A and B are shown apart, each in its own frame.
Chain A
């Protein structure tokens, strides 16, 4: 719901908002320039002295005005012609033209009405309203994504466009809220919708009937400092009933032109004061510094519009078209999808196709469209859902749980729930679990037990499909092939070979960075953005299924690097090991957000063995900030498969790596990485106490050994790998 409130006003108003924000940012410069160029007023100068000086220079002066910037303008007659000029308060004489700056006037009209008069003002007001809705809904979305308002500034992850959108919005949202809310107020004021108009002229006391009192002697003018003056209008000397009209920050005064006595005074109404303050906040006139800040924040709007559009397009592309979707009322099987990024829709499409082939009438819909009253023919309801953040509903399942809770009685159709997630995250499939739990509690009959699919595993999905088929009395073979991102040819630049002597031929393969379109860079798709720890999918010659390797480099390194051990009879690793510089291989990128070093200053404990060193070496190489990194590296033999040996020595010298502990399993005394950990137990406990994060990469057996060793090491401190995992401080990339 909030997302809809954010998306549609944003798309509708984007163009107008870009015009408004750019013109607004430019306009913010004028009050600051005025402030800098306005002639300075000497301290303590009174309105009486100023008026006296100006009157001496221009005897037929009619009015003196002081702008919030301090600029003083006088209006007078000379030889029957009206004159106006900016005045130097020290001399009372003209120093510059009072004509408005034509460019500023044009920009102002563009900003408030798109040069289209009152119709344009209504359009800009609608855009301001859209901006207000966008700012509020966007703030709610950021808070939800960050995990609460208190974590407003936590670093974001994900593709560049999404991160830019959030980062800019977090900085600019306060200014955009202020600018849009004040804009709406000012429009309402302009159209006389607020009771902030000028008061009727007051009733005056009887005038003295005399004229000609010198302004320098008038008490009220002497008491008014120039810094509080807004305007002073001179009376017609031929009309003794006419008065001086003095406007100050406090109000309006009518002064007798024969005595200087105050004949009437009126203050500003509360509405007028509020409107004045709002005008100041919006324009920066009288608050030039704030104006500049708001101007800079307004510059975020074009960037937000651009990244927002990219995000929307990327989201649309992610969802496949379902062919032959049966209407809800006719379907025997209803398939409900909870998806954030769109990959769960892909699985839904596969299931839909397989069930349809098996002769079922299947209706597919987002979970947010759940409407059991319409499912008249349904005998089976199947829910496929991902989880968002820390156990929240994904985008297409908003509000589903609440509806499920109040659904009585439970539908007669049986239910199956399948969760999609990544075991690397603590809240693995938490939302799907909550859905299954709530449905069970509501008395819903389950067709198959709750199950999960880890990291989009086609095997998990096929296994679940078989049990679902059995429950429905069908042969159900789910052959899910995730729509693979377009693979690009990567050209090998160099290779370094290790491990031949220990019967474990291993190579560090470095490929040139492929050319990437600007759109991909912006959306962070494919090779547009990647870091060490992400996965490189290699499509070997022959089979269609890709093999995945952890990346040992990030985009900033300027190359794509992986570490590959030649498996006995391994097809893909064999082909990779035969590559010579200049040869190419087809590959694509898959993000692995669960295995990132992340930002911050807390120490990192990296633990890896064999080819598992790849991403860990990538983290160290990228550690320009000299965060303390402790690397535990298990190999077979120092002289044979010490991968990255020379670089690691260099990184130690440069401070990118704080400490390297190597463990060799071949030799007189076999020594494994978990043994090294046990030996350094005291230091590890100390590092964990400082908030250290543990990242493990390597084979499954090694990871199990490391986990067991760490369990022993941490137990005296009252900690465990499980506890650290729950905090996101213990992550594994295991194969």
Chain B
């Protein structure tokens, strides 16, 4: 199921012309025990200029709450076509989200950044809870998020 969605991710979210080579990447986000309902998470990529490139995953199914993921929402205008087929359930406090998808080689070591926006009902919104540059050297190095993500890493 995850690999199927991952293929969709390549075809719908990150269709960048000329990107022929891709490699499987596993993204792991573990959440704090922040004491609230399940968190909505938006995972997306921006380029060296900070412009939105595409979405990798949306954890949380109800589009009316996406405006609280304000980094992703402002970048996409809340367009749910950006996350067609790559949407899953929200992630509970203390739980881990793990997804594997194919990412183009050219996204690495080229100034691209991976963002995680997080939001929890009745708690503060946390756009850019995690922002990490996509580098082959940085793979496997966990990063700490600002509010909800206790640990985030991507493994090649």
B64 and A75 contacting across the interface, CB-CB below 8 Å: no
Per-position binary interface string of chain B over residues 133-156, scored 1 when its CB falls under 8 Å from any chain A CB and 0 otherwise: 000000000000011000000000
* Distance to closest chain A CB from B111 (angstroms): 17
B147 and A82 contacting across the interface, CB-CB below 8 Å: yes
B36 and A192 contacting across the interface, CB-CB below 8 Å: no
B126 and A82 contacting across the interface, CB-CB below 8 Å: yes
- With contacts A100-B35, A198-B78, A201-B77 taken as known, whether A192 is within 8 angstroms of B64 at the C-beta atoms is yes
Q: In the complex, what residue of chain B is closest to A190 when comparing beta carbons?
A: B62
Give the B interface residue count (CB, 8 A).
20
Q: In the complex, what residue of chain B is closest to A65 when comparing beta carbons?
A: B124
B67 and A109 contacting across the interface, CB-CB below 8 Å: no
Check A102 for interface membership: any CB of B closer than 8 A.
Answer: yes
Q: Is the interface of B mostly helix, strand, loop or mixed?
A: loop
- Distance between Cα atoms of A82 and B123 in the complex (Å): 12
B35 and A190 contacting across the interface, CB-CB below 8 Å: no
Q: Is the interface of A mostly helix, strand, loop or mixed?
A: mixed
Per-position binary interface string of chain B over residues 55-83, scored 1 when its CB falls under 8 Å from any chain A CB and 0 otherwise: 00000011110010010011001100000
Residues of A within 8 A of B78 (CB): 198, 200-201
A102 and B147 contacting across the interface, CB-CB below 8 Å: no
Residues of B within 8 A of A100 (CB): 35-36, 122-123
Q: In the complex, what residue of chain A is closest to B36 when comparing beta carbons?
A: A100
* Distance to closest chain A CB from B122 (angstroms): 5
Interface size class of chain A, counting residues whose CB lies under 8 Å from the partner chain: 20 to 34
Check A63 for interface membership: any CB of B closer than 8 A.
Answer: yes
Check B125 for interface membership: any CB of A closer than 8 A.
Answer: yes
B64 and A105 contacting across the interface, CB-CB below 8 Å: no
Per-position binary interface string of chain B over residues 23-67, scored 1 when its CB falls under 8 Å from any chain A CB and 0 otherwise: 000000000000111000000000000000000000001111001
A192 and B74 contacting across the interface, CB-CB below 8 Å: no
B64 and A190 contacting across the interface, CB-CB below 8 Å: yes
- With contacts A102-B35, A105-B37 taken as known, whether A192 is within 8 angstroms of B123 at the C-beta atoms is no
A197 and B147 contacting across the interface, CB-CB below 8 Å: no
Per-position binary interface string of chain A over residues 188-212, scored 1 when its CB falls under 8 Å from any chain B CB and 0 otherwise: 0111100011101100000000000
B124 and A192 contacting across the interface, CB-CB below 8 Å: no
Check A263 for interface membership: any CB of B closer than 8 A.
Answer: no
Residues of A within 8 A of B122 (CB): 100, 105
Residues of A within 8 A of B35 (CB): 99-100, 102
B146 and A198 contacting across the interface, CB-CB below 8 Å: no
A200 and B125 contacting across the interface, CB-CB below 8 Å: no
* Distance to closest chain B CB from A263 (angstroms): 14
* Distance to closest chain A CB from B41 (angstroms): 16
* Distance to closest chain B CB from A353 (angstroms): 63
- With contacts A190-B64, A200-B77 taken as known, whether A109 is within 8 angstroms of B37 at the C-beta atoms is yes
Q: In the complex, what residue of chain A is closest to B73 when comparing beta carbons?
A: A201
- With contacts A102-B35, A201-B73 taken as known, whether A75 is within 8 angstroms of B62 at the C-beta atoms is no
- Distance between Cα atoms of A84 and B125 in the complex (Å): 11
Name B residues whose Cβ lies closer than 8 Å to a Cβ of A.
35-37, 61-64, 67, 70, 73-74, 77-78, 122-126, 146-147
| Extra 7 A-B pairs, beta carbons < 8 Å, given A84-B124, A192-B63, A200-B77 | A63-B124, A82-B124, A98-B123, A100-B36, A100-B123, A192-B64, A198-B78
Residue pairs across A and B with Cβ atoms less than 8 A apart, 25 shown, are: A63-B125, A81-B146, A82-B146, A82-B147, A84-B124, A98-B123, A98-B124, A99-B123, A102-B35, A105-B36, A109-B37, A118-B61, A189-B64, A190-B62, A192-B62, A192-B63, A196-B64, A197-B63, A198-B64, A198-B67, A200-B78, A201-B74, A201-B77, A201-B78, A233-B70
The 5 closest A-B pairs by CB, nearest first: A75-B124, A82-B147, A198-B67, A197-B64, A100-B122
